[in-house]
Structure 1
Amino acid sequence: MERKVTEKKKFLVEVAWETCNQVGGIYTVIRTKVPAMVEKWEQDYLLLGPYFKQTAAAEFEPLAIDVETPVGRAIAWMRAQGMEVHYGNWLITGKPKIVLFDLASLMKEVDIVKGRIWENHKISTLGVEELVNQTIIFGELIRLFLGQLAVENKAKKDIIVHFHEWMASTCIPDLRKEKVKISTVFTTHATMLGRYLAGNVPNFYDVLDTFDWHKEAKHYGIEAQASFERAAAQKADVLTTVSDITAKECVAFLGRIPELILPNGLNIQRFAALHEHQNLHSLYKKRISDFVMGHFFQNQPFDLDQTLYLFTSGRFEYSNKGYDLTLDALEILNRKMKESGSRKTVIMFFITKQPYHSIDPEVLHSRAVLDEIRENCQAIEKEVGEKLFQASAASKDLTLPDLNDFVGEYWRLRLRRTVQTWKTNARPKVVTHLLKQEDDIIRNLHRTQLLNHAEDKVKVVYHPDFIVSTNPLFGLDYGQFVRGCHLGVFPSYYEPWGYTPLECMARGVPTVTSDLSGFGDYMMQIMRDYEQWGVSVVNRKTQNYQESAEQLANLLFKFVQQSQRDRIMQRNRVESIADTFDWSNLRGYYDTAHELAVMKRRK
């Protein structure tokens, strides 16, 4: 008689420094993936993160623990030891269960923990910055929790723990040494050394295999961080990363070939009717146009129907994010458009966070006066409309009355004075804020003379802050701003994945990426005709810098020459393939990693 094998149930725990703590891109990865994970795992899914009162107040809902469950008993055990542990729902789509650890409740033990880490794993943590101390205590709290969870579980379920980035993974070596009964997956979204070296070493990818990881880590003052990352990569049951490009860094810096690539996704919002996303584009484009009128029309009016809005965004990493290449390509584009006699105007927005004093008062004032002009015009429109209706009804002939007769002297004078005070001979500002100091973007703009001269076909708006709905210049959140633009430009030199071009696709906006970004590399692998679907890829692997700048300028010039009909069709095509990157389709990569971790631990 054949014996029936019943598969043991599994329980998944995901750990990240950015769980319920928005710092960077990993927050987006975790948050957007949750609904797909909850759909599969239901109650057998738990997230772990650090407790910070300010962020938790907005996103966390506390719940009473259930001591009938292993999770509840593990939390109760930690609380009995004097540690502050919070349990509840993360208030995002899917409402997953989450455990947050208050680092302050164990921070006094940091030197003892650091001593044990040195004794067991020879990872030096002397003189590290406060953030590293926080991650060490975060790791210690996770170690204690997972150790007790494994005890309380009594081997009833296979516990899989998925760690994201080194900041959540300082405990992996200890968990392995103590033989805690869990299966572990470690995902590096970008190596520490890769981020530092790419911005400082010419031809970084060509010499990737020549670096001494420990020597370079010491040189850049990140020995502890790089050591934790390497130890986590080597001690986890399964190592994964987000792209083939970053996999090469894992070999060079972490000493291990990743078993799997886990591409990142988003929750893609699809509309029942295709024209809906076009309607939203038009709505948000008009809001951007309001800003453009306020910023440029004081001195340089142009045809908004012949104007295209391009943008780039992300952390201020001047070379890594390709801001340098974009600026040099814009100089070439400006020249090409002038020489061809193009009737188009390109407005290029740079959206990145930099230190500033305040929004430039002159920029704010210009926008405020434009709003007053609009109010005056709306008042005149109302006055003229009513009088025109009455005159037309009483008219004995079919001629149109003189509309000037319907405008009172008060409104004529007020409108004339408002417009007169608004108009200026000053050149439109390049940067919307008062920066604390000149940076590489400003220096490049002065070198290329892309300073919003009247004859320029390419105008630049540098906005050194995040775009949020409370922003007085746009009144849009970032997603709405993206949807209102015509093209996203992200020719990165170092980009392990690249959410910004993916966010464009999710909103039906064509995008430019590079073959050195994980996203661009992935698109080239899965689609031969990716250009037909609104994705352009700049070759930065085999071309030199100038050749890549010329290629980008040509791609932008080709886009500028498209008709409105062509652009609408392209947006429809982009929107139609966005589902490729929905987490419901990409979750399968994670499922494979989790299964592999269980298989490896059972061997």
Structure 2
Amino acid sequence: MPKQGKTSPRRLTKSQTGNALLLEIAWEVLNQVGGIYTVIRSKVPTVVPKWGENYCLLGPYMPSNVAAEFEPIEGEPTDAIGRAVQRMRDNGYTVHYGVWLVSGRPKVVLFDLGSVMHRLGEIKYLLWEHHSISTPGDDHLLNDVLAFGEMVKIFLSELAAEVKGSKEILAHFHEWMAASGLPDLRREQVPVKTIFTTHATLLGRYLAMNDPQFYDHLPFVDWQKEARHFNIESNVMLERAAAHGAHVFSTVSEVTAAECRQLLGRNPDVILPNGINNQRFEALHEFQNLHLENKNKIHSFTMSHFFSSYTFDLDKTLYFFTSGRYEFLNKGYDLTLEALARLNHRLKTEKSDITVVMFFITKRPYYSINPEILHSRALLEEFRHTIDAIKKQVGERLLFDAVNHKDTKLPELNKFVDDYWKLRFRRTLQSWKSDNLPPVITHNLHDDATDDILNFLRRSNLVNNEEDPVKVVYHPDFINYTNPLFSMEYGQFVRGCHLGVFPSYYEPWGYTPLECIASGVPTVTSDLAGFGDYVQEQVPDHDRRGIYLVKRNQKSFDEAAGNLANKMYNYVRLSRRDRIDLRNRTEASSTLFDWSNLVKYYDQAYLKALKMDQ
């Protein structure tokens, strides 16, 4: 398909949104599992003002997830959506109708999957009878997906009967887990216009994780053979049925469009890039101050982690980070590590006085936080308390001494400190100091011996030696305020860093670079990531905006690693003033990716669907 044009697509008119109902259907509505939750939640504040009461989200009812974010709509239904919910309730289904308590406060319908579980055998039989898709009996997630799809199909049928053609109905399905009922909507000719978006093909993710030459081999993949190999044939067939059954088929990037053509057998009709809600990150003129404030919090971690073994100049320390699911190849962790080793060698050879601390933030099974790290942090805090007590004592006694002497000379301050505090100062400092190297990992992993990141660090001897300018902190848990090592939210951590590094090999879109940009943090992406491909096509001056692109498409690993190492090295060489200017330009660029600009592509998909016959 042709590249997304730079001319603006047509927008929906007020008349068109007033005469249609838009239902967005996703497994991750009020159910945070992965990136689609972020897509939908961040988009809602832009969609609701445009569609008003004609917009609603559909999702599965997960009792443990909805307590804090769902508010039921009580009383007699006054709108078509509410009346369709009541029709289902009258037929014995358990359906919850209310408001999602997030920005925009969208209406939401949640289906209790237990309502149709007694019909699961019939649902599976009809799926085979009508669409030749067989499903295993012991796959509990797939059973839930089929139950959800059936309830969505029933609801949309009831809604169509309720409006009786007075309004168009647009049903936008996100991913295969929401769309198992879509093929039957078309088969039964329910008057609903359907849009199906795959955010990442199911088979593509499996293949990329297991094939370092995924893109080279993609044109020759036998989808059915590979789906059987990974034991996901039923899931992939549901995805293909949804892609072929929808009036409009879409995906999030040109990168993923190539997968769709080969693995799903249909060319996407439209590309729907993912945006970000900048209001969530907005700090106006304060974002530079926030960077300094949060950088100082990271400094506190750095001191407790490294300074018991050796010290370096915090004023000449840069914080780089990467984060996301633990997919060593897909997320480009392998490339990042290789580039860090090359950067370390180059800086060491040049005797650079800059220190780079690289954080890997991901999720891995672990037993506990390393007790030595907690002990070091506790001792540093004790040392702070001791210093505060000494400061207070010296301050009080210095004032008293100064007003009682005519001499204006500064006295020997040591004489104002009690022996108790002197001894405590020495003992605490002595207890804190260590001859061991600072650990590269903060937690005790279940599979320490087979972990790819740790094994690379060991092989390359990138283990936080004092003479190495590049240090590594591998944190196998996501950061939040309750985290005892950082005591800050993930967004604060991002703001405190200098550079985000995300050179993904397989990434249908990629939100982490977007979050960096919105926080005024320069970022690295790759041309194999959907976001990187979009930037390459739509933002020609991306380097100047602090959005660096590593070329991985049709490049060897060695070439890509060298390219990434050069980009990191060039950033290290920037002066403090240059880094401040770059942060300003990066933060200003966030408006390019705001949903208020990118929602126009969704309008294009809906306009295309509205023009289609049943």
Give TM-score, length-normalised by structure 2. 0.95
Give runs of aligned pairs for residues 580-599 of structure 1, distance below 5 A. Answer: 580-599=592-611
Q: What is residue 99 of structure 1 aligned with on the other side?
A: 109
Q: Name the amino acid aligned to 1:307.
A: T
Q: What is residue 432 of structure 1 aligned with on the other side?
A: 442
| Contact persistence 1:467–1:477 (CA under 8 A) | yes
Task: Go from structure 1 to structure 2 and tell me whether the alpha carbon gap of 1:153 and 1:270 turns closer, same or farther (over 3 Å shift).
Answer: closer
Q: Secondary structure at the match of 1:283?
A: helix
Is the counterpart of residue 552 in structure 1 residue 564 in structure 2?
yes
Q: Name the amino acid aligned to 2:420.
A: Y
Q: What is residue 495 of structure 1 aligned with on the other side?
A: 507
Q: What is residue 119 of structure 1 aligned with on the other side?
A: 129
Give runs of aligned pairs for residues 531-542 of structure 1, distance below 5 A. Answer: 531-542=543-554
Write out per-residue CA displacement over residues 525-559 of structure 1, whole angstroms, 9 at most, x where no aligned residue. 11212100001111101220011111111111111
* In 2, Cα distance between equivalents of 1:361 and 1:50: 41
Give runs of aligned pairs for residues 99-248 of structure 1, distance below 5 A. Answer: 99-127=109-137, 129-248=139-258
* In 1, Cα distance between equivalents of 2:76 and 2:39: 29
Q: What is residue 266 of structure 2 aligned with on the other side?
A: 256
- What is the CA-CA distance between 1:500 and the residue it aligns to? 0.6
Give runs of aligned pairs for residues 116-515 of structure 1, distance below 5 A. Answer: 116-127=126-137, 129-269=139-279, 275-438=285-448, 439-515=451-527
Q: Name the amino acid aligned to 1:397.
A: D
* In 2, Cα distance between equivalents of 1:77 and 1:526: 47
Q: Secondary structure at the match of 1:266?
A: coil
Q: Secondary structure at the match of 2:611?
A: helix
- What is the CA-CA distance between 1:198 and the residue it aligns to? 1.3
Q: What is residue 574 of structure 1 aligned with on the other side?
A: 586
| Contact persistence 1:128–1:224 (CA under 8 A) | no
Q: Name the amino acid aligned to 1:375.
A: H
Q: What is residue 34 of structure 1 aligned with on the other side?
A: 44
| Contact persistence 1:8–1:158 (CA under 8 A) | no
- What is the CA-CA distance between 1:173 and the residue it aligns to? 0.3
* In 2, Cα distance between equivalents of 1:71 and 1:581: 32
Task: Go from structure 1 to structure 2 and tell me whether the alpha carbon gap of 1:500 and 1:128 turns closer, same or farther (over 3 Å shift).
Answer: farther
Greater CA drift, 341-350 or 447-456? 447-456
| Contact persistence 2:308–2:433 (CA under 8 A) | yes
* In 2, Cα distance between equivalents of 1:502 and 1:7: 29
- What is the CA-CA distance between 1:270 and the residue it aligns to? 8.4
Q: What is residue 520 of structure 1 aligned with on the other side?
A: 532
- What is the CA-CA distance between 1:156 and the residue it aligns to? 1.0
Give TM-score, length-normalised by structure 1. 0.97
Task: Go from structure 1 to structure 2 and tell me whether the alpha carbon gap of 1:542 and 1:156 turns closer, same or farther (over 3 Å shift).
Answer: same
Q: Name the amino acid aligned to 2:117.
A: M
* In 1, Cα distance between equivalents of 2:138 and 2:600: 38
Task: Go from structure 1 to structure 2 and tell me whether the alpha carbon gap of 1:468 and 1:601 turns closer, same or farther (over 3 Å shift).
Answer: farther
Q: Name the amino acid aligned to 1:258.
A: P
Q: Name the amino acid aligned to 2:247.
A: D
- What is the CA-CA distance between 1:422 and the residue it aligns to? 1.0
Write out per-residue CA displacement over residues 147-202 of structure 1, whole angstroms, 9 at most, x where no aligned residue. 10110111111111111000101111011101111111111100011101112223
Q: What is residue 90 of structure 1 aligned with on the other side?
A: 100
Q: Secondary structure at the match of 1:601?
A: coil
Write out per-residue CA displacement over residues 224-256 of structure 1, whole angstroms, 9 at most, x where no aligned residue. 111111110111010111111101111111111
Write out per-residue CA displacement over residues 469-506 of structure 1, whole angstroms, 9 at most, x where no aligned residue. 11011011111110110000000000000101111001
Match of 1:565 among 561, 577, 583: 577
Greater CA drift, 40-49 or 98-107? 98-107
Task: Go from structure 1 to structure 2 and tell me whether the alpha carbon gap of 1:346 and 1:453 turns closer, same or farther (over 3 Å shift).
Answer: same
Q: Name the amino acid aligned to 1:436.
A: H
Give the percent of matched residue pairs that are identical in Structure 1 and Structure 2. Answer: 56
Q: Secondary structure at the match of 1:256?
A: coil
Q: Name the amino acid aligned to 2:193.
A: S
Greater CA drift, 326-335 or 119-128? 119-128
* In 2, Cα distance between equivalents of 1:146 and 1:7: 18
Greater CA drift, 359-368 or 311-320? 359-368
Task: Go from structure 1 to structure 2 and tell me whether the alpha carbon gap of 1:221 and 1:129 turns closer, same or farther (over 3 Å shift).
Answer: same
* In 2, Cα distance between equivalents of 1:117 and 1:271: 45
Q: Name the amino acid aligned to 1:140.
A: E
Task: Go from structure 1 to structure 2 and tell me whether the alpha carbon gap of 1:240 and 1:252 turns closer, same or farther (over 3 Å shift).
Answer: same
Q: Secondary structure at the match of 1:428?
A: coil
- What is the CA-CA distance between 1:271 and the residue it aligns to? 8.7
| Contact persistence 1:15–1:163 (CA under 8 A) | yes
Q: Secondary structure at the match of 2:356?
A: strand
- What is the CA-CA distance between 1:388 and the residue it aligns to? 2.5
| Contact persistence 1:515–1:539 (CA under 8 A) | yes
Task: Go from structure 1 to structure 2 and tell me whether the alpha carbon gap of 1:16 and 1:270 turns closer, same or farther (over 3 Å shift).
Answer: closer
| Structure 2 unaligned regions, length at least 5 | 1-14
| Contact persistence 2:332–2:504 (CA under 8 A) | yes
Is the counterpart of residue 21 in structure 1 residue 34 in structure 2?
no
* In 2, Cα distance between equivalents of 1:384 and 1:578: 49
Q: What is residue 58 of structure 1 aligned with on the other side?
A: 68
- What is the CA-CA distance between 1:7 and the residue it aligns to? 9.2
- What is the CA-CA distance between 1:387 and the residue it aligns to? 2.4
* In 1, Cα distance between equivalents of 2:130 and 2:608: 27
- What is the CA-CA distance between 1:126 and the residue it aligns to? 2.2
Q: Name the amino acid aligned to 1:123.
A: I
- What is the CA-CA distance between 1:261 and the residue it aligns to? 0.8
- What is the CA-CA distance between 1:128 and the residue it aligns to? 5.5
Q: Name the amino acid aligned to 1:389.
A: L
* In 2, Cα distance between equivalents of 1:319 and 1:127: 33
| Contact persistence 1:65–1:87 (CA under 8 A) | no
| Contact persistence 1:486–1:510 (CA under 8 A) | yes
| Contact persistence 2:301–2:485 (CA under 8 A) | yes
| Contact persistence 2:17–2:54 (CA under 8 A) | no
- What is the CA-CA distance between 1:65 and the residue it aligns to? 5.2
* In 1, Cα distance between equivalents of 2:123 and 2:95: 19
Write out per-residue CA displacement over residues 249-271 of structure 1, whole angstroms, 9 at most, x where no aligned residue. 11111111111111111111389
- What is the CA-CA distance between 1:397 and the residue it aligns to? 3.0
Q: Secondary structure at the match of 2:599?
A: helix
* In 2, Cα distance between equivalents of 1:379 and 1:6: 69
- What is the CA-CA distance between 1:390 and the residue it aligns to? 3.1
* In 1, Cα distance between equivalents of 2:112 and 2:285: 48
Q: Secondary structure at the match of 2:549?
A: strand
Q: What is residue 87 of structure 2 aligned with on the other side?
A: 77
* In 2, Cα distance between equivalents of 1:7 and 1:350: 44
> How many residues matched?
598
* In 2, Cα distance between equivalents of 1:324 and 1:481: 23
